[in-house]
């Protein structure tokens, strides 16, 4: 992989209730095997218990016309919860009656089930179930640290300058009033370059309620009630977004933004379940006890420097996370996703969520504005239609940022490129607050204003000499051009690519 639930409630206790016979009147589908992915069918060859994610029908969200960002999120959450409560009830009753443990999600209409293999056919026969996906964990391939001892720097990091962030700072826009979120290996919240940007820190006291969530139930490293990073990958990505120690370590693109975070991997092991949990929590953050949810704490932008590979429950079922991404974007939150490190061939962007239309997918460039050799390329196939990906590119080769030991390391990967773009989006929203809650419009601004870059590589009939192309997308993101354009933007309805 990349380096790159209140349905009820968010981390609902797994239920084990008395068995009750199901009624013969319940309509069932006998073709249960057609609903199961090859990974699920393979798991069923063994005995014992397995975890799988059941997909139910997706709601058609009503168009939300409110201009207030938080009200837009609240409206979306209400619709999603109502649909989940109604559509999941017959299946949840069945699971309760058969003493089958589960966790319900409303961010997408999914249910995580832990059951004996002998019980799976009966579950999949239920008419409420449309598909079943594996929830097996898989360790991600993390970028290697390129230097063990990184010398102190007295200058703004090269990637920050490359996207022209300092020119935007000079205009007075540094990401103020924007909340950047990340789901990753966790974050060292008290890192010198991160602590003063953490929303849960007031300069003297820490309050992790609504600012931190841990989706790992049985972690190898227990964070307790405060954010921690069990790898350093998460801290590195957050540092690129907004890190600044007030001295010589100016590593972040949007240093006046604030951050919140969710751990979605156990030392690099993630599952669709943990990714869904973080997305759901970002839509409606809770306190540390997973109680008292409040959409007012939701972020503007979520960075996702990870991917869900075939071996991690995304084989055959590449749509497993798509509903969640669609619903989060519909709610008005921008979802920035690293393209993956599977380059340099065509069609190497292959894993969710980079392959989704609503994901703003990011490729990686070098300091010379050349595509990084590892950066995955498009196109991707979305519902039978080939779509150009990535959307844009950004610095990802040899990026210096925070580690999880209060220090700094240099890493390479599209995981390093994505945070640059998430932070540039924060600068754009900071410069024009009317763009908050309009992620697709911000995405269009970033593509229109990117530095056009071409390639000798042509993929899927799209010449590399054209823009956009399947190597760079629309080009390398440019904060100054994007902010200048955003300031002049008045008639949103007339704006298009």
Contact 263, 215 (CB under 8 A): yes
* Both tokens assigned to 417: 């490129």
Which residue is catalytic, options 233, 359, 375, 397? 233
| Cα 83 to Cα 323: distance, rounded to the nearest angstrom | 13
Handedness of CA 265, 250, 398, 380 (dihedral sign): positive
* Both tokens assigned to 139: 């360790």
Which residue is catalytic, options 83, 98, 134, 184? 184
Scanning the structure block, which residue is given the tokens 């040899």?
398
The DSSP annotation for 209-254 comes to TTTEEE--SS-SS--TTS--BSSSHHHHHHHHHH-B-SSS-B--SS
184 labelled catalytic: yes
Contact 424, 486 (CB under 8 A): no
104 labelled catalytic: no
233 labelled catalytic: yes
| Cα 42 to Cα 25: distance, rounded to the nearest angstrom | 31
| Cα 284 to Cα 293: distance, rounded to the nearest angstrom | 6
- Helix and strand numbers (H, E) in the chain are 11, 17
333 closest CA partner among 436, 417, 251:
436
The DSSP annotation for 184-205 comes to ESB--TT-TTTGGGBTTB-SS-
Q: ∠437-325-134 over CA atoms, to 5°?
A: 160
For 42, 89, 97, 412, the CA distances from 116, given in Å and listed in that order, are 14, 21, 15, 42
Q: What is the DSSP letter of 339?
A: -
Which residue is catalytic, options 305, 364, 401, 415? 415
Angle between helices 233-242 and 414-431 (to 10 degrees): 30
Active-site residue list:
184, 233, 415
């Amino acid at each position: 992989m990349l380096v790159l639930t209140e349905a009820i409630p968010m981390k609902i206790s797994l239920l084990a209730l008395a068995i009750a016979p199901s009624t013969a009147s319940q309509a069932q589908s006998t073709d249960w095997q057609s609903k199961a992915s090859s990974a699920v069918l393979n798991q069923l060859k063994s005995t014992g218990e397995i975890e799988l994610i059941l997909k139910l029908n997706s709601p058609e969200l009503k168009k939300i016309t409110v201009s207030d960002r938080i009200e837009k999120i609240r409206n979306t959450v209400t619709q999603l919860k109502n649909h989940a409560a109604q559509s999941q009830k017959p299946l949840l009753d069945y699971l309760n009656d058969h003493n089958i443990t589960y966790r319900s999600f409303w961010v997408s209409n999914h249910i995580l089930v832990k059951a004996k293999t002998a019980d799976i056919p009966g579950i999949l026969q239920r008419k409420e179930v449309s598909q079943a996906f594996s929830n097996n964990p898989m360790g991600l391939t993390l970028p290697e640290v390129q230097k063990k001892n990184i010398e102190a720097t007295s200058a703004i990091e090269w990637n920050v300058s490359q996207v022209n962030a300092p020119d935007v700072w000079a205009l007075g826009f540094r990401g103020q009033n924007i909340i950047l979120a990340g789901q990753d290996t966790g974050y060292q919240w008290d890192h010198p370059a991160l602590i003063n940007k953490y929303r849960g820190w007031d300069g003297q006291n820490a309050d992790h309620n609504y600012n931190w969530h841990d989706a790992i139930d049985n972690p190898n490293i227990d964070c307790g009630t405060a954010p921690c990073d069990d790898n350093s990958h998460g801290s590195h990505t957050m540092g690129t977004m907004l890190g600044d120690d007030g001295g010589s370590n100016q590593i972040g693109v949007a240093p006046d933004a604030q951050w919140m975070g969710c751990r979605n991997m156990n030392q690099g092991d993630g599952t669709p379940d943990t990714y869904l949990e973080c997305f759901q929590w970002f839509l409606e953050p809770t306190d540390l006890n997973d109680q008292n949810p409040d959409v007012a704490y939701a972020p503007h932008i979520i960075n996702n420097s990870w991917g869900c590979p075939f071996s991690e429950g995304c084989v055959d079922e590449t749509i497993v996370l798509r509903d969640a991404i669609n619903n989060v974007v519909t709610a008005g939150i921008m979802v920035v996703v690293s393209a993956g490190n599977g380059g340099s061939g065509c069609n190497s962007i292959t894993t969710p969520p980079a392959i989704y239309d609503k994901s703003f997918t990011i490729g990686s460039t070098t300091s010379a504005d050349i595509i990084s050799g590892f950066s995955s390329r498009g196109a991707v196939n979305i519902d039978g239609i080939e779509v150009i990906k990535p959307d844009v590119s950004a610095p990802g080769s040899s990026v210096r940022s925070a580690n999880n030991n209060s220090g700094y390391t240099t890493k390479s990967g599209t995981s390093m490129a994505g945070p640059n773009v998430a932070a540039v989006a924060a600068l754009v929203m900071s410069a024009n607050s009317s763009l908050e809650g309009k992620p697709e419009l911000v995405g269009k601004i970033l593509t229109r204003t990117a530095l056009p870059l071409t390639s000798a590589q042509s993929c899927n009939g799209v010449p590399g000499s054209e823009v956009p192309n399947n190597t760079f997308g629309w080009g390398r993101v440019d904060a100054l051009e994007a902010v200048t354009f955003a300031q002049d933007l008045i008639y949103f309805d007339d704006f298009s690519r």
